[in-house]
Copies of this chain bind each other. A is one copy, B any other.
Amino acid sequence: MAVARSRKGSPKGEPAKGGGFDRRGQLLAVAAELFATQGYSKTTVRDIADAAGILAGSIYHHFDSKEAMLDEILRELLSGLHERFAAIEGRDDDPRATLSELVRASFAAIDEAPHAVAVYQNESGNLAREEAFAYIGAYSARIEKIWLRVLTAGQASGVFRPDLDVKPTYLFIRDAVWSTVRWYRPGGRLRSEAVADHYLGLLYGGLL
């Protein structure tokens, strides 16, 4: 798999024309939903085209390949995520507040782009081995470092328990939080912030 990074059609991902209809954006949204619900490899280019009301061949006027669509979805998600997390860390609050904000930002991301997050959850494992998607690993590593710094700082300042390894603690939090994308339904009984509060409550205070 090799991804041509040329962004066909209108540059910068902006709508094609002033009053026009953003076909690129529509295709990306449709693709994200299908990739999330059916899986990337079970989703055909025709599926995407059908859902968008065009023919399969026409997709190639907007994107170089099916993989390029996946690439754009994941890249947008990860860069946005990293940007948010870096901004939160940059605010230089105390570690507990920072950790809380990281968790809340994660839930907000799931709320805003559940399909993209689901695609990331489901596909990144296999994708990361491919050269074209090496940036996934790079982003993940940078994001992981942010979380680890916060946890370490919290232990150093005495606000977090010192007897726990930060690495598995991070993985514990990360997995619990991001896995919610599999069952969380925007508009369902549990609102996103409520789940965030519940998880933070359990995380901080423990079950006992």
Contacts and interface: CB of A to CB of B under 8 A. Distances in A.
A152 interface: no
20 contacts: A41-B42, A122-B125, A154-B207, A159-B208, A160-B208, A161-B206, A164-B198, A164-B207, A168-B198, A172-B176, A173-B176, A175-B175, A175-B176, A175-B180, A176-B176, A176-B179, A179-B179, A204-B207, A206-B206, A206-B207
A195 B172 CA distance: 10
A156 interface: no
A203 interface: yes
Interface string A182-208: 110000001000010011011111111
Secondary structure call for the A interface: helix
A163 B183 CA distance: 22
The copy count of this chain in the complex is: 4
A164 B190 CA distance: 13
A169 B202 contact: yes
Given A176-B175, A180-B171, A203 B207 contact: yes
A10 interface: no
A15 interface: no
Contacts of A6: none
Interface of A: 37-39, 41-42, 96, 122, 125-126, 154, 159-161, 163-165, 168-169, 171-173, 175-176, 179-180, 182-183, 190, 195, 198-199, 201-208
Contacts of A205: 161, 206, 208
Given A176-B176, A201-B164, A203-B207, A39 B171 contact: no
A85 to B, nearest CB: 18
Contacts of A204: 206-208
Contacts of A206: 161, 202-207
- Of the listed residues A42, A169, A201, A207, the one surrounded by the most CB atoms of chain B closer than 10 A to its CB is A207
